[in-house]
Structure 1
């Protein structure tokens, strides 16, 4: 509680010391992907492939329905993890091994979980460290749809 106005202080992000190697975090956030989300993202990123925006075209292809753009799925899953992983970050340093595991469709709901793989103190600045995590995004059917690793530079609580 904040004693000045009796309001609860929300925890957003973690300091370097708060990350425990081997810990698995089930993120609270989730997002149902609507057709408008996919359309706006296609327009914003200039991805006009018809499998993402043309129902007639998509119905004639392998999955018989519109596919959600993979980079939208990636962006949403990263976003879902922010309160627990990079909310206090100085920088995201690296993304690696991004794997699209199964298609995502309009009206799928995405969830995420993250495992803390490793952490180390910064070699150049004593007030921060690097945390290495692996995140898996999954849908409402508990099917893993995306996985990736990333390294995040976070401050120490000093």
Structure 2
């Protein structure tokens, strides 16, 4: 093709996820997506894997006679799913999770429920012992598709500054 522009060599673009310390601001809220529908199989497998064989999680006859009338999703599973939903927005670049506090289970979750999460930044501060990092504290809420809040917790994460991240000239 005379005069046609020759194709240039393809570029490789690496998508970046997560945030550095400088990217967080007190009051910011992250809506974590996508949501996750919890299945009966998820619930039974997690309960067996963690050796939590309480009949409320895996015995339909037992659960039917309870005040809930059906099996409950293991709260350890709901915590794991909600926490996992936050990783890309809150801790993908974290050096360490420093702790979870004030975990509250405020409503039941049942197999078939679709859950979502949101996190609000409560505090961003420099680390006293690690000058190239800081601590971000967030409050996370797990809620169902109908808007019912079922869980809240606070979490502190050790986050690097952009200039000292792994793989950068300063890091």
Asked whether the two chains share a fold, i.e. TM above 0.5, the reply is yes
Q: Give the corresponding residue for 1:67.
A: 72
Structure 2 unaligned regions, length at least 5? 1-8, 164-171
Bigger radius of gyration: 2
User: Could you tell me how far 1:9 is from its partner in structure 2?
Assistant: 3.2
Offset of residue 153 of structure 1:
0.4
Q: Does 1:44 align with 2:44?
A: no
> Aligned residue for 2:168?
none
What TM-score does the superposition give when structure 1 sets the normalisation length?
0.95
Q: How many residues align?
A: 155
> Equivalents in 2 of 1:129, 1:8: separation in Å?
28
Separation in 1 of the partners of 2:98 and 2:108?
A: 27
Please report the TM-score for the alignment, with normalisation by the length of structure 2: 0.88
Matching residue of 1:157: 162
1:140 corresponding residue in structure 2: 145
How far residue 51 of structure 1 moved from its aligned partner, in angstroms, is: 0.5
Give RMSD over aligned pairs: 1.1
Q: Could you say if the C-alpha distance between residues 27 and 53 of structure 1 is closer, same or farther in structure 2, counting changes exceeding 3 Å?
A: same
- Name 1:28's counterpart in structure 2: 33
CA deviation profile, 1:89-124 (whole Å, cap 9, x unmatched): 111101000000100000001100010000111111
C-alpha distance in 1 between matches for 2:113 and 2:98: 29
